[in-house]
Structure 1
Amino acid sequence: MHGSSGVGHLVDRHPDVTPERLIAQLVPPPTFADVSFDSYLPDPAEPSQAAAVQSCAQFCDQAVERRAGKKKLFGRRETLPGVGLYLDGGFGVGKTHLLASSYYRLPEPKAFATFGELTQLASVFGFVECIELLADYVVVCIDEFELDDPGNTTLISRLLSQLVERGVSVAATSNTLPEQLGEGRFAAQDFLREINTLAAIFTTVRIDGPDYRHRGLPPAPEPPSDDDVVRGAAQRPGATLDGFDELCAHLATMHPSRYSTLIEGVSAVYLTDVHPIDDQNVALRLVSLTDRLYDAGIPVIASGAKLDTVFSEDMLAGGFRKKYLRATSRLLALSRQGDA
């Protein structure tokens, strides 16, 4: 794969992430850099979407009030506990759009992180230091709260409950499956049970609707040939070209928190020989990379198997089904950008 002249390769990049960089990254991804409540277009057929906008706006008002605290005698202020909002729903109904809009509506200091970035922050700084770091924030927004890693979920629950006590408000989105039993109520209950220390402060808001990434869109397109991919990469400034297996092996050499830095400045990712994955670890790393590519809006052009077959049926039958379906939805959206 390294024969092509002048084209960079992700496998040649070895990014490093400093604590300062981790803090600087706590903002919404580039895809959501310009969103607002006004730019969210609720589906008229799904009244829960317009209602969710109202709930988010109300949450923002409450978060500011809580951070200000309660006036006491002699001008001192008493800290009021923060409020919590949990946006529950399937893929592509605009949960991240609303979460990022809430972030932008609120004053500094504030943080926006994926669940993975937050666990990484806690592991780099330590639990107590992480609380000190965020204790004066107005809000911490967490995108895609994960319920499939009990250790991390418990850690983050403890972290959030301590922050809430100090006046920090918390907004989170779920990664529920649309077809889950009870249309997602199930996931909301799971969430509140997992973070039972926080359950009392969280208001759960359900957002219904079809995945907007698939609205009226055709299924996965036929993949281009290897030659087309190599040629396309050579013609696109800033593109990278890698073999699928080589890239998957390279991802194993670094913590997923470095994937953002790995793809920094890349205009498009070209891959050859894509095939279904049957190793859980490889698949989960690919999910993390896909999320970072999607956040940055970097197109993916891939030869080999169709992108909706990367996560095998066996994989989809397991506990990480919701992650794999989300990643498939995002890969297809990025491949359509590549076609554009």
Structure 2
Amino acid sequence: MSFDQKLKAFPSVREHYDAMTAAGEVDPDQAQLALADRFDRLIEELGEKRLSKKSSALGWLFGRKAASRAPVKGLYIHGEVGRGKTMLMDMFHALVPVKRKRRAHFNDFMADVHERIHAHRQAFKRGETKQEDPIPPVADALAEAAWVLCFDEFTVTDIADAMILSRLFSALFERGVVLVATSNVKPDDLYRDGLNRQLFLPFIDLLRRHVEIVNLDSRTDYRLEKLNRQPVYVTPLGPEACRQMDAAWEAAKGSAEEQADVLMVKGHEVPIPRAAGDAARFSFGDLCSRPFGASDYMAIVRRYHRIFIDDVPVLDYARRNEAKRFILLIDTLYDHHVRLVLSAEAAPEKLYVAPSGTEAFEFDRTASRLFEMQSAEYLETAGNGDPRAGAQEATFGV
């Protein structure tokens, strides 16, 4: 049964989850069951809120209820990697009867925000608008495009993001936007050890007022249960690793001609040393030793759906900037369902050796994703672009 058929047959998150357990696709888990029920309550609350805004008699009836007049609180779901947070949120996003909804990786969303802010400031300089502050018009545009925002992997490591989140989300919440997010960290740990963190703390208070915080304390890591290793992560480094990477690259190229490429991103170049068709090959230094950010990595995955990375070293605190970029890179590749072939000095869980710091905390997710990107389930559909492309536009109901 296809995903769309399941949605028609099982119109609630709980029913969809129960069907998956009956089919043996997941093992029943009490924490996940409770979250499925909470998602269904949120769907009901959003449905009542939507109806209360309509001019029909039914909308007037719902509109009289205090619960419908009150703002709908979203959900912030945190827990360790591989606990099923994203799976359940994706069910919710598909089933919620709201046209204006958006499901995105948080880094992608913030890159879009910064692009909109930059465009508004340029328009102000050109005299095309008298509004100097970009936050209100950007919030207007975002709220108009999506009333329900679903973020996967909500994490804050960039100071540019940290400094605008409080104002941005204050404006979004004032416009009625409902936030649903998954994260590996509880709200109090967001932007932990970040520069000028005291300026970020109002956002945590704001978040607590507008979302219900749920800890998904599930019993096991389902990603590791599904793991079925494929020869796409080659370790240790050495002549044999080089041979395997070259063989995989030749197979990926096929008859396509190999050449260098250059992508232009916000006025600067992102070199692609080796490209053939929809495949691109880099060294670790090409991608992580340069001052690249989310928009650069997104430009790469929009153009190339199969990525090869040679010679990923073991990283420590002295190389934490490269580690941050590597974390962001893997997040981007994973979220866009890119097929990754990689050679590394050590296994995923041993690639970052610093005992503390934000990067050590974040790298747990990176290691988990590197494992999952080797699984048969991931590889069956990887390499053809993001399978969720267009999901932001999917609608159910009115």
TM-score, L = length of structure 1: 0.73
- Give the secondary structure class of the aligned counterpart of 1:312: coil
- Residues 276, 309 of structure 1: 8 Å contact kept: no
Q: Say yes or no: does 1:90 pair with 2:80.
A: yes
* One-letter amino acid matched to 1:93: R
Q: Is 1:283 paired with 2:346?
A: no
More displaced 10-residue stretch of structure 1: 144-153 or 119-128: 144-153
In structure 2, the CA distance between the partners of 1:295 and 1:339, relative to structure 1 (3 Å rule), is: closer
Q: Name the SS of the counterpart of 2:314 in structure 1.
A: coil
Aligned: 1:102 with 2:81: no
Number of residues of Structure 1 aligned to a counterpart in Structure 2: 295
Aligned residue runs from structure 1 range 89-238, under 5 A? 89-106=79-96, 107-126=98-117, 127-136=135-144, 137-148=146-157, 152-153=161-162, 155-176=164-185, 187-190=186-189, 194-209=203-218, 210-215=220-225, 217=227, 222-223=235-236, 225-237=241-253, 238=278
Once the two structures are superposed, residues 301-321 of structure 1 have per-residue CA deviations (whole angstroms, 9 ceiling, x without a partner) of 22341242664311x521232
Q: How far apart, CA to CA, are the structure 2 residues paired with 1:73 and 1:226?
A: 67
Pairwise CA distance, 1:265: 5.2
Tell me which residue corresponds to 1:59: 42
Q: Is the 8 A contact 1:175 1:322 kept in 2?
A: no
Using the TM superposition, give the Cα deviation of residue 131 of structure 1 relative to its aligned residue in structure 2, in angstroms: 1.0
- Structure 1: 5+ residue runs without aligned partners? 1-31, 177-186
Following superposition, the deviation at residue 73 of structure 1 comes to 12
Structure 2 distance, partners of 1:173, 1:139, is 14
Confirm or deny: 8 A CA contact 2:154 2:181 kept in the other structure.
yes
Q: Does 2:88 align with 1:50?
A: no
Question: What is the CA-CA distance between 1:171 and the residue it aligns to?
Answer: 0.7
Partner of 2:373, secondary structure, is helix
CA distance in 1, matches of 2:169, 2:163: 10
Match of residue 23 from structure 1: none
C-alpha distance 34-304 of structure 1, shift in aligned 2 (>3 A): farther
The one-letter code sitting in structure 1 at the alignment partner of 2:107 is: G
Rounded to whole Å, the distance in 1 between the matches of 2:175 and 2:311 is 51
Deviates more, 1:296-305 or 1:127-136: 296-305
User: 1:169 & 1:150 partners in 2: Cα distance?
Assistant: 24
CA distance in 2, matches of 1:97, 1:274: 29
Alignment deviations for residues 251-285 of structure 1 (CA, whole Å, 9 cap, x no partner): x3x43123223023535322322211342221111
| Counterpart residue number, 1:29 | none
Q: CA RMSD in A?
A: 3.6
Higher relative contact order (CA 8 A, sep 6+): 1
Query: Do the aligned residues in 2 keep the contact of 1:147 with 1:190 (CA within 8 Å)?
Result: no
Within 1, Cα distance between the matches of 2:55 and 2:217? 43
1:55 to 1:263, Cα distance in 2 relative to 1, 3 A: same
Asked if structure 2 preserves the Cα contact closer than 8 Å seen for 1:271 and 1:303, the reply is yes
Structure 2 residue runs of 5 or longer lacking an equivalent are 8-12, 118-134, 191-200, 254-277, 381-398
Q: Which residue of 1 aligns with 2:264?
A: none
